Amino acid sequence: MSEVKWTKEQRQVIESRNTNLLVSAAAGSGKTAVLIERIIELVLDEKNPIDINKLLVVTFTKLAASEMRERVSKAIEKKLEENQENEHLQKQLLLLSGADITTIDSFCKDVLISYAHLVNLDSNIKVIDPSENEVLAKEVMEELFEELYENNDESFLRLVDWYAKKNTDEGLLQLLLNVNNFVNSHPFPKIWLNEKAEFFNTSTKDDDFYLENYILDIAKDVDMDLEFFELSIKNNLKKIENYPELEKYVNMYNNLLDALSVVKENLKKFLKDNTKFDELKISTNEFLNSNFVSFKISKCDEEVKEIYNKVKKNWIV
């Protein structure tokens, strides 16, 4: 097998010593291979070789940790094939089984068990299984819901009224579990959550804040959507033109396109000059109140009804 040719940046990561190092790269760019090579070169360093069990290598999943250990083992074995008398490498293979190549959870558990007597902790602790964790979290949330219902908690009941479906709060419960999981993925979850909650505190925000953080981003998305809507409406218009029965509605479709064109024009003005919001609001209302939105078909055959209903379903707001 040909020797791996590392890039300049990869070689820099592999050879850097005695400094903090943060490596950021896309998926599939060879981060794991670079890390393994870095470990091997630390172990083989002629001036200051390190035993593999003196390194801490952590990852997120047991599978990834297992694969990492296996790849390090193969790399050491390959080096041994080149120099079978190397006692240091032989020693590393023996030490590898006890090396800290593990998940973050497992490493933290080992630390706690080792020093359990200092924090009055049961040394029989274990890392909870993800599926078991989900079950327990749901049970806790259900008990909390029951308690809040019994106490007629106004804030909670308002939350249920806003986010729960009729006759069931299962969706709200799952939503809160998802939010909890997401928030706890941050290093300081409570601080992060409070910062995001403050983002919605209207008493401390002015119009410019919402313009910069909400409206402009939404307007850009809407601008892209309108391009798609316009194209789709034109395609539907071509289809309708093939049906004489719908001829009287062609003008309504054209009026809709005209109204949409005005909305698009005013939206672009707004994106260039944020003071043009009133013009955008007026043209949007005219678009929503266009004839096409309110017209009905009285007597027509089933095929015409089907076409009309399809158009109505797709395009009437």
Angle between helices 8-15 and 31-44 (to 10 degrees): 40
pLDDT in tens, 130-152: 889 999 999 999 999 999 999 99
pLDDT in tens, 42-60: 888 878 889 999 999 988 8
Q: What is the pLDDT, as a whole number, of residue 189?
A: 92
Is residue 108 assigned to a domain? no
Query: Domain check: are 156 and 195 in the same one?
Result: yes
Is residue 55 assigned to a domain? yes
Q: What is the pLDDT, as a whole number, of residue 311?
A: 53
pLDDT in tens, 89-129: 899 999 998 899 998 888 988 899 999 889 888 888 888 88
**CA dist., res. 73 & res. 46, Å (int):** 20
- According to DSSP, the residues that pair with 168 across neighbouring strands are 165
Q: What percent of the chain has pLDDT over 90?
A: 25
Query: Domain check: are 89 and 141 in the same one?
Result: no
pLDDT band at 233 (very low <50, low <70, confident <90, very high): confident
**Domains of the chain: total:** 3
CATH number at residue 172: 1.10.274.50
Give the SS3 label for residue 133: helix
User: Which domain-ending residue is among 170, 199, 228?
Assistant: 199
Q: What is the pLDDT, as a whole number, of residue 298?
A: 45
Judged by average pLDDT, the poorest of 24-33, 50-59, 245-254, 287-296 is 287-296
Query: Domain check: are 187 and 271 in the same one?
Result: no
Statement: the pTM of the whole predicted model exceeds 0.85: no
Query: Average pLDDT in the 170-190 region?
Result: 91
Which residues, 6+ apart, have CB-to-CB distance to 9 below 8 Å? none
Query: Domain check: are 223 and 184 in the same one?
Result: no
Is residue 94 assigned to a domain? yes
Q: What is the pLDDT, as a whole number, of residue 11?
A: 92
Is residue 120 assigned to a domain? no
CATH number at residue 95: 3.40.50.300
| Residue 99 · residue 53 · CB < 8 Å | yes
Q: Name the residue range of residue 148's domain.
A: 130-199
Query: Domain check: are 42 and 85 in the same one?
Result: yes
Is residue 109 assigned to a domain? no
Element (H, E) at 101: strand 100-103
**CA dist., res. 103 & res. 259, Å (int):** 58
Query: Domain check: are 260 and 311 in the same one?
Result: yes
pLDDT in tens, 291-306: 554 444 444 445 555 6
| Residue 95 · residue 51 · CB < 8 Å | yes
Angle at 278 between CA 272 and CA 283, to 5 degrees: 90
